[in-house]
Structure 1
Amino acid sequence: MSTTERPRILVVGGGYVGLYAARRILKKMRYGEATVTVVDPRSYMTYQPFLPEAAAGSISPRHVVVPLRRVLPKAEVLTGRVSTIDQDRKVATIAPLVGEAYELPFDYLVIALGAISRTFPIPGLAEQGIGMKGVEEAIGLRNHVLEQLDKADSTNDEDVRRKALTFVFVGGGFAGAETVGEVEDMARDAAKYYPNVKREDMRFVLVDAADKILPEVGPQLGKWGLEHLQKRGIEVYLSTSMESCTGGRVVLKNGLEVDSATIVWTAGVKPNPALARFGLPLGPRGHVDTAATLQVRGTDYIWAAGDNAQVPDLAAREEGVENAWCPPNAQHALRQAKVLGDNVISGMRGFPQQEYKHANKGAVAGLGLHKGVAMVRLGKKVKLKIKGRLAWYFHRGYHGMAVPTWNRKIRVFADWTLAMFLKREVVSLGAMENPREEFYEAARPAPAPADAKPVGDKAGSEQAGRAEKAKAS
């Protein structure tokens, strides 16, 4: 970390908003005008809409992440966490991955911590659940599912086999519906290589507390998506919830009980709880309360956007929707980040702030290879509703162009192009969970035999004496 006399713009979080806001600021900033510092526990940004495809092996996991230092070469990138913020002194406390915490002064602050998985105190969830917020979880889910097929194919125990081939997904929004669709596709393909496992042996269960799935694309397309998943043999239970999953025993509120070794939790997100330690004004659900200019209310040097911010949706309010707030999706995060970056520069130079206003362009969702739904807004009232293969093209086209940097765009499209000619990889790399285990077994000292005697005992002394005599002769 460098010390500088220039003003410091501190960006807390290197996700979608943090990355794009920092890029925008660096692009608009004059040479030497300020120092941009980005702090995040990870050294990369994750494009979360691609996590279901990464879990299914359609995209290489490395192509779902964007290295911050490579994309922001003119910024300081600190790998760590901001533990506290002193607004009176304009100082943030940085807790690095290694070493003691230290204070970092700033002049302007951008809050872009994003969101974490929204969970409930369900018995067994912390021990059994698998989230889908990071690329590590996507890789882990892929390896885990394929490992369950390995177990089922190699055992004669019917209970073990049934538990291994039962997959439970909780949450029917974008993340849940897309993940169950992609994973079911992968498992169906993988079953061709297992002589003792067929798709009919597997059981996929999707659970949601709401009365519909995919609410973002509207009731008509959501109903089609529901029927499509059911035709593929996926059991869908709506208006119900999971009461417990201790030891893999999943108990639903409707009375259904199943044993499952795979419980995927995608039941929404909530703002990062670290926001409560920053002394910022928060909304009723824990979001940072911001004005339409993305400035945190009551300040003129702090901005916030994305999943951790409560941003007024001016476009929806103009259409008559009272108290509308921007939903937490990539569409708004990208556009908010650009406006935020411009407003930081304007605030630094003493110019007026610009309000954020964006009319929702629609939503797209992929439900597996060649399957999807898309709702595209062509005007204030005209909505184009698409389903099937064409919607899947819309889904891939939109997100393929939305993923940051041309480096990642090219790599993602290359993955998709190769998949047209090559079969899907169905190898499980389960050892990634504990990569040093085999080396540890090989390197640790072998235990002494039970009948071995200490070197200093009588027999050992006699043996040493005979060795010395032989050496002398």
Structure 2
Amino acid sequence: MTKILIVGGGYAGLYTARGLERQLGAAEAEITIVDPLPYMTYLPFLPEVAAGSIEPRHAVVSLRRHLSRTRVIQASVTFVDHAAKVATIQPELGEASTLEYDVIVMTAGSVSRTFPIAGVADEAIGMKTIEEAAAVRDRLIGNFARAAALPLGPERDRLLTTVVVGGGFAGIETIAELRDFATHLLSRFPEITFDEVRFHLVEAMGRIMPEVSATTADWVVEDLRKRGVDVHLETQLQSAQDGVCELSTGDRFGSDLIIWTAGVMANPVVRKTDLPLDDRGRITALATLQVAKDGVVVPGAWTAGDVSAVPDKSKTPGPGGFCVPNAQHAVRQAKLLSKNIVAVLRDEAPREYIHDNLGAVAGLGIGNGVFQSGKIAIKGPLAWLAHRGYHVMAMPMWERKLRVFGGWWNNFWLGRDIVELSAREQPRVAFETFASRPKPKVDA
């Protein structure tokens, strides 16, 4: 029986495991997937989770529920010795152990890429995990509640100021959805006016959203500005020390919510392997998704998704000739990856990954969006419907699709839920506050 180890349970890992389950019999292969989290997160939905349009649990897919024949190990891979075909596994509790395999699939995804800017590591939060998106939602609502009880002044201004660093799709969707959500919250907080709520988008380049045309990008900037977002182009965040943002333009303002979306990098777990990497820390591969060193296949090793450097064979290749790290590539690569693994196991030739970009679509708040495919650009409600339609269909598993759609339907009639549950981060506080304790013993 062939032992297949999948490192990472994101898009690529989940789809690869499902594909292998369908194509390989129970007696043909033993499939194991290792990830610190027991679920896959559908990243394009994170801005809507942060804006209260989607419940956090609806934007994730349980690995154990949807992988019937795959062994799921909730742990971290701390080292891979592919020469010996052994991986070291470290669970949250207990001692590390080793796991032997015949075939390894590296689909560990990506993490937020940051720079050594003072205060960012201590004050900012990313938009890469479901936990971050849920925390942003709670923080925004909580800040409104705290600010409403304060008089005018610096502390109130700080609570009502949100900063998003990075003008790619993640940053634009995040700030647009949060701005829309904040405007909705004003109806519940009459003590706060529209002009008091400040949103700042900081982008180092001269334009946003490089995946769309300059004309479309300019329209998005103007739309954001009309809705009360201060867009700072060709501007860098120089410090966020103690929550005070200092920009390269000289602007300076305090913020209690700084969101970092300025790029991603391959999961550092790949550096703890003997697999070949490029200068950006990605696993080098062929278009067949086989790991390769200097064009020579590394037997028994495969990769896909954000952690890989896969040649882009489409008509419009990405930067450097490689597939860009996005969900569109990860899902499609994974579907081919499982087929190629099976093909090689059965002494057949693997196929190359070739996928032409279907276009780019972004949600900019309820009823507003932008879509670009080639020279065709759609803006406003139609683009918003296209955004929701595409992503609800791309969301894995029908039970997840129905949960997401059901949440949208309920919100249409009932409005977004504005209850924040940040106290759940310390759930024992209320119990400990009032719990009876034994009286101290008196020394005879």
**Which range, TM-score by smaller chain?**
over 0.9
Q: How does 1:151-190 map to 2 (within 5 A)?
A: 151-156=146-151, 158-190=153-185
Residue aligning to 1:93: 88
User: 1:30: how far off?
Assistant: 2.3
- Taking structure 1 as reference, are residues 108 and 327 closer, same or farther at Cα in structure 2, changes over 3 Å only? same
Residue aligning to 1:80: 75
2:290 counterpart SS class: coil
- Taking structure 1 as reference, are residues 439 and 416 closer, same or farther at Cα in structure 2, changes over 3 Å only? same
Say whether the 8 Å CA contact 1:130–1:264 is kept in structure 2. yes
Distance of 2:436 and 2:191 partners within structure 1: 37
Q: 1:343 aligns with which of 334, 340, 344?
A: 340
Say whether the 8 Å CA contact 1:292–1:355 is kept in structure 2. yes
RMSD between aligned alpha carbons? 1.5
Deviation per CA, 1:359-397, whole angstroms, max 9, x where unpaired? 1110100010111110125xxxxx321111111011000
Distance of 1:388 and 1:156 partners within structure 2: 37
Distance of 1:374 and 1:50 partners within structure 2: 16
User: 1:60: how far off?
Assistant: 0.8
Q: 1:253 aligns with which of 243, 248, 252?
A: 248
Q: 1:68 aligns with which of 40, 63, 69?
A: 63
* Identity over aligned pairs, percent: 45
Q: 1:392 aligns with which of 372, 384, 388?
A: 384
Say whether the 8 Å CA contact 1:311–1:326 is kept in structure 2. yes
- Taking structure 1 as reference, are residues 91 and 322 closer, same or farther at Cα in structure 2, changes over 3 Å only? closer
Deviation per CA, 1:106-153, whole angstroms, max 9, x where unpaired? 000100000000100011111110111000001100000111101110
- Taking structure 1 as reference, are residues 322 and 188 closer, same or farther at Cα in structure 2, changes over 3 Å only? closer
Distance of 1:258 and 1:51 partners within structure 2: 26
Residue aligning to 2:111: 116
User: 1:165: how far off?
Assistant: 0.6
Distance of 2:163 and 2:152 partners within structure 1: 21
Residue aligning to 1:465: none
Residue aligning to 1:300: 299
Runs of 5+ unmatched residues, structure 1: 1-5, 378-382, 449-453, 458-473
1:247 counterpart SS class: helix
2:417 counterpart SS class: coil
Q: Which structure has the larger Rg over C-alpha atoms?
A: 1
What TM-score do the two structures reach when normalised by structure 1? 0.90
Distance of 1:401 and 1:218 partners within structure 2: 25
Q: Which residue identity lines up with residue 338 of structure 2 in the other structure?
A: G
**Greater shift in the superposed pair: 77-86 or 212-221:** 212-221
1:370 counterpart SS class: coil
User: 1:262: how far off?
Assistant: 0.8
Residue aligning to 1:466: none
Deviation per CA, 1:265-296, whole angstroms, max 9, x where unpaired? 11110001111111111112111100010000
Say whether the 8 Å CA contact 1:46–1:65 is kept in structure 2. yes
Distance of 2:192 and 2:117 partners within structure 1: 32
Q: Which residue identity lines up with residue 423 of structure 1 in the other structure?
A: G
Distance of 2:81 and 2:307 partners within structure 1: 19
Residue aligning to 1:435: 427
Number of residue-to-residue matches in the alignment: 440
Distance of 2:41 and 2:442 partners within structure 1: 57
Q: 2:412 aligns with which of 394, 400, 420?
A: 420
Q: Which residue identity lines up with residue 129 of structure 1 in the other structure?
A: A
Structure 1 residue 408 and structure 2 residue 400: aligned?
yes
Deviation per CA, 1:327-374, whole angstroms, max 9, x where unpaired? 111111111001111111112122111111111110100010111110
Distance of 1:266 and 1:177 partners within structure 2: 9
Say whether the 8 Å CA contact 2:167–2:202 is kept in structure 1. yes
Residue aligning to 1:329: 326
Residue aligning to 2:370: 373
Q: How does 1:218-257 map to 2 (within 5 A)?
A: 218-257=213-252
Q: Which residue identity lines up with residue 222 of structure 1 in the other structure?
A: A
- Taking structure 1 as reference, are residues 99 and 356 closer, same or farther at Cα in structure 2, changes over 3 Å only? same
Distance of 1:320 and 1:114 partners within structure 2: 20
User: 1:447: how far off?
Assistant: 8.3
Distance of 2:23 and 2:58 partners within structure 1: 28
Distance of 1:114 and 1:186 partners within structure 2: 29
Structure 1 residue 357 and structure 2 residue 354: aligned?
yes
User: 1:195: how far off?
Assistant: 2.5
User: 1:320: how far off?
Assistant: 8.4
User: 1:416: how far off?
Assistant: 1.2
Distance of 1:370 and 1:303 partners within structure 2: 41
- Taking structure 1 as reference, are residues 67 and 212 closer, same or farther at Cα in structure 2, changes over 3 Å only? same
**Greater shift in the superposed pair: 438-447 or 134-143:** 438-447
Distance of 1:116 and 1:236 partners within structure 2: 25
Residue aligning to 1:46: 41
Runs of 5+ unmatched residues, structure 2: none
Q: Which residue identity lines up with residue 128 of structure 2 in the other structure?
A: K
2:104 counterpart SS class: strand
Distance of 1:395 and 1:359 partners within structure 2: 18
Say whether the 8 Å CA contact 1:172–1:213 is kept in structure 2. yes
Distance of 1:231 and 1:367 partners within structure 2: 13
Residue aligning to 1:125: 120
Distance of 1:321 and 1:407 partners within structure 2: 33
1:358 counterpart SS class: coil
Distance of 2:204 and 2:317 partners within structure 1: 28
Distance of 1:436 and 1:190 partners within structure 2: 29
Say whether the 8 Å CA contact 2:82–2:275 is kept in structure 1. no
Q: Which residue identity lines up with residue 368 of structure 2 in the other structure?
A: K
Say whether the 8 Å CA contact 2:118–2:239 is kept in structure 1. yes
